[in-house]
Amino acid sequence: EDRARKAAKALGEEWESFKAEDSSAHQLHAHWLAYRYPITLRFGRAAAGVYQAARLRSGHLTFQDLLLYTARLLREHPDVRQELGRRYRYLLIDEFQDTDPLQAEVVFLLASEPESGGRWTEVQLRAGALFVVGDPKQSIYRFRRADIALSGQVKRRFREVGQVVELVANFRSTQPVERLVNA
């Protein structure tokens, strides 16, 4: 039993030495990862392209596809933005903190002056066309690309072209909870 324990310990030490950062095996593994990374990316991109083409052919688009194609349509076709702007003069977006960048692009393009370009971060908004409500502290959709930094970016845009109204009264919780959340 003592002999087996010593053999196991020696094997463990050998293993640690084998995988140590300065070992040849570790360096070989790092080179292999660096070599295979571009190959894996090329394969992944090609597979994604084939899958996307199949979805288009079959007409079975994902939610992400719908967002991507809508953003592209609005970005590249000011006439479509103009027509939709006539039809939907005002947009109210609640729970904006859970909006992802692609959704923000769609919203800003829908509320913009069509001749002001196709970059959502630079378009001129139609006066009074966009109203958003959100609390970055309540953002829960990071798993689907909602980004708290986006709230800050949109707030800066609103300060440039419109108005930001801060809600400072709380009707949902008590002072101790407020202090904890604010901290």
10 Å CB burial of residue 173 (0-12, 13-18, 19+) is exposed
What's the chain's average pLDDT?
87
Q: Which two tokens stand for residue 133?
A: 């409500």
What is the tens place of the pLDDT at every residue in 136-175? 777 776 666 767 778 888 888 888 877 888 887 778 888 8
What is the tens place of the pLDDT at every residue in 11-38? 888 888 887 888 888 888 888 888 888 8
Tell me what pLDDT residue 70 has: 96
Specify whether the CB–CB gap between 109 and 125 falls below 8 A: no
Tell me what pLDDT residue 79 has: 95
Q: How far is CA 86 from CA 37, 62, 80, 151, in A?
A: 48, 28, 10, 27
What is the tens place of the pLDDT at every residue in 44-57? 999 999 999 999 99
